[in-house]
Structure 1
């Protein structure tokens, strides 16, 4: 019996040792898993910080690009206006150096001015600037009636004369047309 008791004690001791080893093994596994998870967390945090820094850099670059786009928005339009200015300066220079007949000179100046106006209109058209329509009747949103005129050829409230042309930029009014309207 004492041998059985001794065997039983040995079995219990062996089971206790096995359980202790199993607990130590499980603790080792848990510690390894915690270390792995901590490493993954650190890697994810670093990745987040890099992505966040990249985002901030992109945001700053886009803001800078937006400011430049606003600042230089009129650059193409300004370039297109250089030709008419050159034409006017050339006309003035040719007048200073000319000894031509005054009537011939006047005809050339008129032709030069007409070509310059055509050049301006071409630049305007290219950039969406157009004349305000006065043929479709008076519209207080597009026309500024600065005077009344009597006319047998026009109905009451109809545009009699355009005193200053109006212009629109795409759908926005740059300047209303100054007109006189018929009053009977």
Structure 2
């Protein structure tokens, strides 16, 4: 609010510069000077109106952009979540298949295993679509991508190489979501 008062004062100062105080005594002015003063007053009023409108437009745009930004943040994961729904549906169908009493348990196991493999594949495709990748676990230990939970001696591999993976790691683009938990060779 103080800024608007300062802005209005600065407009008054500008108008005082344009129309000097000696010219404000309208009785002492000639007809030509009076019309010039009226034109300048009208121009100052017009510029003041334009300024106030532009300032209001700017404030409105700033509020609208802030609102759009907050909505974008709130719903940023909407597409990703929507793409995961088929995988969840597949898992629910697997549970329902387990409730079917007409199916032999050996056949049920094979079908549930196939369903789980297909569901994992759905998850992988969705992750790939959204830039989520597995952390590379081949080669030597990298503390940026791996978390060593154990060191083991091995004659098959050299020191610092990954021997076993306990939990896969994931990254989105170049940012680590979860490091791979591995054991490394001493």
User: Into which bin does the TM-score normalised by the smaller protein fall?
Assistant: 0.7 to 0.9
Aligned to 1:6: none
1:99 and 1:136 map into 2 onto residues whose CA distance is 49
Aligned to 1:73: 76
Aligned to 2:182: 179
2:112 and 2:95 map into 1 onto residues whose CA distance is 9
2:153 and 2:100 map into 1 onto residues whose CA distance is 48
What secondary structure is seen at the aligned counterpart in 1 of 2:30?
helix
Q: 2:96 aligns with which of 69, 90, 93?
A: 93
Aligned to 2:126: 123
User: Which 10-residue stretch deviates more, 69-78 or 144-153?
Assistant: 144-153
What secondary structure is seen at the aligned counterpart in 2 of 1:160?
strand
Q: 2:86 aligns with which of 83, 89, 95?
A: 83
The answer for unaligned runs of 5 or more in structure 1 is 1-23
2:102 and 2:60 map into 1 onto residues whose CA distance is 64
Figure out how many residues of one structure are paired with residues of the other and give that number: 159
TM-score scaled by length of structure 2 = 0.82
Structure 1 position 136, deviation (Å): 3.4
Q: Where do 4+ consecutive residues of structure 1 move more than 3 Å?
A: none
2:184 and 2:75 map into 1 onto residues whose CA distance is 41
Aligned to 1:170: 173
1:93 and 1:103 map into 2 onto residues whose CA distance is 16
Question: Aligned-residue CA RMSD in angstroms?
Answer: 1.3
Is 1:41 the equivalent of 2:51?
no
Is 1:113 the equivalent of 2:116?
yes
Contact residue 139 and residue 161 of structure 2 kept, 8 A = no
The answer for unaligned runs of 5 or more in structure 2 is 1-26
TM-score scaled by length of structure 1 = 0.83
Is 1:135 the equivalent of 2:138?
yes
Aligned to 1:54: 57
